[in-house]
Structure 1
Amino acid sequence: MLRSLMTVSGFTLVSRILGFLRDILIGFFVGTGPVADAFVAAFRFPNMFRRIFGEGAFNAAFVPLFGRKLEEDGREPALKFASNAFSTLLLVLGVLTIIAIPCMHWLMALVVPGFKAKFDQDLSDVGAGKASYVVETGTVGARDIYFQIEAKSPEAIRHWAGRIRVVDPQFLERKGDGAGKVVDRLFGTDPEDAIVIPVQGGAFEQEGLEPVGPDLRIDDTGLGRINLPKGHKFAAFKARLEIAPAQDGEEVRRAELKVFRNHPSTFPTTVFMARIMFCYLLFMALTAHLSGVLNTFKIFAMPAAAPIILNLVFLSGMGMMWWKGWAKAPTLAWCVAIAGVLQFAALWITCRRRNARVEVVRPTPNANLKKLFLLMGPGVLAAGIQQINLLVGNIIASFQEGAVAYLYYSERVYQLPLGMIGIALGVVLLPEVTRQLRSGHKRNAADSIVKGMELGLLLTIPATVAMLVIPVPIIATLFQRGAFTAESATQCGYALAGFAVGLPGYVLIKVLQPGYFAREDTKTPMIMAGVAVAVNILVSLLLFPFLRHVGIAIATSVSAWVNVLLLWGGLKGFVKVRRAQKRKFRRMIYASLAMGAAVWFAWKGLGSWFDGSQAMRIGALAILVTLGVTVYALLALLTRATTIRDLREGFG
């Protein structure tokens, strides 16, 4: 098993390294600003389905059925079943793509509601008359409040800027600030139960707004901004927008008046990029299908290597951004779409060369296909629990400017060990456990899962401790350059620590789920996943008002551990951890804590290096990583948390 694991992990490592280079360049070009938020939100939508279909639900349902068909009926009938499933998937997702692209504005409004305008008035309805509107929006996590006059011409903007006044703008801070008012704090507050802080006369930085007596006027650029102080505790912003009547004979021009808590360009950019990227879902779902076929034939290399194509396309695209000055948003979006096509082509060609041809045929409903989609439906939730959690986090994070990007960069770091270990273990374990159960070797199947747990924890516990001890130095070394500032590194580092708490849990989910999927049980993990998602939503809402984006990361970790406990409880009669293995787990923790202490003291000694040049930061982090790996490896062997013999047996 470990040999196959190393094949998958090796290609995954190359992909992750190239992915880091990709993300470093993305950080350099767009930092954590509006384009970064838009790109992450737009990319996460189809990418969520990629991870669910590619590494979870589809393979969880398809591999056991395909494996049984291959074992019982032979190669040709099995490939006919695969072709029928492929063609059905192509039809369903093709129709979905055609429908979704023109509806992307409404879909993104559901995925990132915080990006949308909190107030939107078509000024054509006002015309030459006068009007007054009360605007109130929650400000938990907000950095700025934006006022925008959106029109097609500068003349129209000037016309309405001369007529619109922001009257009595004020921030509201809740008295007592109790946890029982979380939802109120997220979406607004009652002025009668709040401290009122007026904007005029207050210490608020303003841009694009001109004082007119006690009121404010949006200047002729059509964009005004009130900057909230760092670390503020305001629950809401409230103002009255008054529109004066037009002067006699003055032409009334078409325009819209909007109020945002995120930069006004973020939402339209998100919709634009998502429309281009959405075809990625179609091609990556088909790629996942072909990966399942190849994995069943014990061909792991190309499916594991395919993600490298995505990173190479991105690196090429950003090279053109630097060389030719290509626009950032369109370039990033088209890189995703092109990479999806190329990855599918690579797997399609591999299948044909390895005598595993999957053809496009007329979809034929039959018992096997029906069973596949029945198993796949609940598995979408069960196998995609981490992605669903991240999507929930994305929705809540959209109410904090920059938070979507903070979570993305920190997620990329903790997903290095998760991708190399957890996902690779899941890919290798599922067909192996399936074969063992088909052969009646239940004890061997259970032992394979326990061995997977041991391998996963051996590598993820020290990674967790390291990310808790030096999260900000890790992020700063990897990303802090160009548009990615020191403040961005700090905020991403805090999120990384929150995610790190759940890293062993994420890996254990990937190890334990095959114990259900191999027995064609997707309903039980679905129910458990639903409970975990509910926990994630609740904890995110509880923590976001106080910890902002860090609370979302912590909630994701809590949800992962809840899912692990539920999965483990359901496998108690099947999978048993012996006393000797429990001792090994404890020794892994002790060795990791000792390693963490050594790394922490070394970091304190090298603190000035992290304040220096990029080369000094890289050198300091390399020293800390080398020290940590050496200390942990020695302690793990000395305490017999693992042995050379264990590793050799794994390769056997």
Structure 2
Amino acid sequence: MSLARNTLVQASLTLGSRVLGFARDMALAARFGQGPMMDAWATALMLPNLFRRLFAEGAFAQAFVPVYGGVRAREGEEAAAVTASEALSFMFAVVAAFCVLLQVLMPWIMPWLLSAWREDAGVMHAAVVATQLAMPYLACMTIASLLSGVLNTGGKFALTAAVPVFLNICTLIPLLAPSVFPMSQPEILLWTSAAVTVSGVIQAGLLWWGVRRLGVRLKLGVPRLTPNVKRALALAVPGAMAGGAMQINSVVSQVLTGSDEGARSVLYNADRLYQLPLGLVGVAIGLALVPRLTKAFVQGDHEGGHKTLDDGITLAMALTLPAAVALFVIPFFIIDATVTRGAFTSADAARTADVLRQFAWGVPAFVLAKVLTPPFFAREDTRRPMIFAISSVVFTVIVGTALFFWFSRMGFDGVLGLAIATSLSAWINVALLGGTLMREHTWRASTPFVARFSRVLLASAVMAVLLLFAGIGYETLSRIFFFKEIAVLVVCGAGALVYGACLVLFRAVSVAELKAVLKREPGAAAPTGLD
């Protein structure tokens, strides 16, 4: 498939999952608002979400693909399957032991993670049990991550993008059940947390089935630190850390917000919205880029590698900038129109919108990092992206902590400081990645790339003006269309139409080019070759 086709397959399937995820978050907001049970839920999902984003959504898969693909090319299918089986057995054993350890220690860890509610025994108990119920999801995602890498190397992207939908389906059920079977907030929390683990078992099982259909026979055996495992871990673990820098930043931010009642709920709701373009665009393009770049580097096709990166960056920004602009210009419109109901008030929406705006200007950097990291992975260079990622994490910890407490002392929302630091660190990471690629002549912005990217920026600016006026007239539009939910759909739809028209009008993209990039590339039909 072409890069755009692979990306659209990933993004389209991910979109279905994200829509259901948004429905789940609306149900969570309606059930819990921004109260103690919402803080407990955000805490219970903090570690599983970190590993889901590191593994299931591609960072680990990006790092594993070159390792598995290299063994496959040099030694054949059987040797690659042995390597994958050994790595799977070892990593699953380590992560499973880690999960059990965290479950045992959680009663002592939780007061530090959720210090704002330390004196409330009921909230503490609910948060501890909820986290223990959700923790096995980590082990499931260890299996899912490696299986995803095997499928992606075999040119199969659809199942990897489709299975995360089960997380949202499983967690929606206990959130909707109280409409029929009344339950207390703590009971809803515990059932929803248990559903997280159930979804992990389903995802891992479906991916295992997909790998077997591909003809790859993996075995989960006694863990051994073999030479193949050492080599895979040496590349994959740093790669996962590099690809997941933003997720580590997110966890650091959530730990800091544990001392402020409701702050973790604000961070959770803002995080879900600004993560949407990353999940739809950044991860999809990242997964599609790795096999193409690996093939180009192996064949010494530097021109092809440059063009692939040009296309990847342009496509990523063309799809990301509209979302970033909307989140920056009309965050309150979006949140109040879609989430405010039940226990979630307009005041909650206003606080979340302020934080979301500070995340929004970092969204392009979050996505760019996903595009600029694969060139390193394709050359099996995971050390430097890891160093860059650690540098950005250190920046977030130091600057974010300072801003969080300074803002709080000045009477402002401390979460704003965390959002600012997270966005700044993302741009620092991009500067380090992009600067290294340009310095080594792995990629350099060509004249056609600069011209096209400038037109994408211009189209985004036009859309921003439209959204600005829509935000000013939010209440009027809500009356005109009778419901605020309809108003936000109309505004977002109009913004998308204007943006698309401007892309064509400014010649950032043509209809012929759209048709061309969606065509299969010659030879792409081979089911087991690198795509």
Q: Structure 1 length normalisation: TM-score? A: 0.75
Q: Which runs of 5+ in 2 are unaligned?
A: 408-412, 520-531
Residues 80-116 of structure 1 show CA distances to partners (whole Å, capped at 9, x for unaligned) of 2111111112221222222221011334345x25336
- 1:176 alignment partner in structure 2: none
Report the Cα distance in structure 2 between the residues aligned to 1:615 and 1:445, rounded to whole angstroms: 51
Deviations 1:555-595 (A, max 9, x none): 11111111000000110120111122112222222221121
Residue equivalent to 2:77:
75
The one-letter code matched in structure 2 to 1:575 is: W
Distance across 2 between alignment mates of 1:442 and 1:325: 62
1:44 to 22, 43, 46: 46
What is the DSSP-based 3-state SS (H/G/I as helix, E as strand, rest coil) of the residue aligned with 1:102?
A: helix
Q: Is the 8 A contact 2:17 2:164 kept in 1?
A: yes
- Kindly provide the amino acid, as one letter, of the partner of residue 309 in structure 1: F
Deviation at residue 367 of structure 1 after TM alignment: 2.1
Residue 549 of structure 1: aligned partner: 415
Deviation at 1:402, TM superposition (A): 0.7
Q: Which residue number corresponds to residue 474 of structure 1? A: 334
Alignment correspondent of 2:523: none
**1:440-499 deviations in Å (ceiling 9; x for gaps):** 223212321221100011121122111111100100112111111111111111111111
Task: Give aligned pairs, total.
Answer: 506
Q: Quote the Cα distance in structure 2 between the aligned partners of 1:29 and 1:116.
A: 19
Is it true that 1:115 corresponds to 2:116 in the alignment?
yes
Distance 1:266 1:593, change over 3 A: farther
Q: Which has the higher helix share?
A: 2
- Which of the residues 184, 197, 218 maps onto 1:337? 197
Q: Map 1:55-94 onto structure 2 (within 5 A).
A: 55-94=57-96
How far apart are 1:311 and its partner, in Å?
A: 0.9
Change in CA separation of 1:264 and 1:511 when aligned onto 2, cut-off 3 Å = same
Report the alpha carbon displacement of residue 264 of structure 1 after superposing the two structures with TM: 5.7
Tell me the secondary structure at the aligned position of residue 640 of structure 1: coil
TM normalised by structure 2 equals 0.91
Match of 2:175 among 296, 304, 318: 318
Distance in 1 (alpha carbons) for counterparts of 2:203 and 2:179? 25
Q: CA deviation at 1:54?
A: 2.5
Q: Is the 8 A contact 2:56 2:144 kept in 1?
A: yes
- The residue that corresponds to 1:483 in the other structure is 343
How far 1:57 sits from its partner (Å)? 4.5
Residues of 1 paired with 2:214 and 2:41: CA distance? 37
The correspondence for 1:397, drawn from 249, 253, 257, is 257
CA distance in 1, matches of 2:214, 2:47: 33
1:648 to 508, 515, 522: 515
Give the direction of change, closer, same or farther, for the CA distance of 1:600–1:17 in structure 2 (3 Å limit).
Answer: same
CA distance in 2, matches of 1:107, 1:357: 40
Given candidates 563, 580, 584, the residue that maps to 2:448 is 580
Moved more, 312-321 or 384-393: 312-321
Matched, 1:500 2:360: yes
Q: Which moved more, 1:566-575 or 1:589-598?
A: 589-598
For the pair 1:420 / 2:280, whether they are aligned, the reply is: yes
> Structure 1 unaligned runs (5+)?
118-257
Q: Distance in 1 between matches of 2:425 and 2:111?
A: 25
Give the Cα separation in 1 of the matches to 2:476 and 2:63: 52
- Percent of aligned pairs sharing the same letter: 35
CA distance, structure 1, for counterparts of residue 371 and residue 513 of structure 2: 18
What secondary structure is seen at the aligned counterpart in 2 of 1:324? Answer: coil
CA drift at 1:633: 1.3
- 1:356 is displaced (CA, Å) by 2.1
Once residues 567 and 85 of structure 1 are traced to their aligned partners in structure 2, the CA distance between those partners, rounded to angstroms, is: 28
For 1:325, what is the secondary structure of its paired residue? coil
Instruction: Tell me which amino acid in the other structure corresponds to 2:506.
Output: T
Instruction: Give the 5 Å matches for 1:169-184.
Output: none
Partner Cα distance (1:613, 1:359) in 2: 60
Hey, what does 1:147 align to over in structure 2?
none
Residues 146-182 of structure 1: CA distance to partner in whole angstroms, max 9, x if unpaired?
A: xxxxxxxxxxxxxxxxxxxxxxxxxxxxxxxxxxxxx
RMSD: 1.9
The Cα offsets for residues 20-64 of structure 1, whole Å up to 9 and x where unpaired, read as: 111111111111110001101110112201211233553233211
Computing the radius of gyration over CA atoms, which structure comes out larger, 1 or 2? 1
Letter in 2 for 1:283: C
Task: Please give the residue correspondences for 1:308-387 in structure 2 after superposition, counting only pairs within 5 Å.
Answer: 308-326=165-183, 327-387=187-247
Q: Is the 8 Å Cα contact of residues 115 and 267 (structure 1) preserved in structure 2? A: no
Match for residue 23 of structure 1? Answer: 25
Query: Structure 2: which amino acid aligns with 1:315?
Result: L
**Mapped contact 1:599–1:627 kept (Cα < 8 A):** no
Contact 1:56 1:379 in 2 (8 A): no
Q: CA deviation at 1:268?
A: 3.2
Cα pair 1:294 1:356 within 8 Å, conserved = no
Instruction: Between 49-58 and 623-632, report the one with greater CA deviation.
Output: 49-58
Match of 1:593 in 2: 461
Maintained 8 Å contact 2:170/2:198: yes
C-alpha separation between the residues in 2 aligned to 1:486 and 1:594?
29
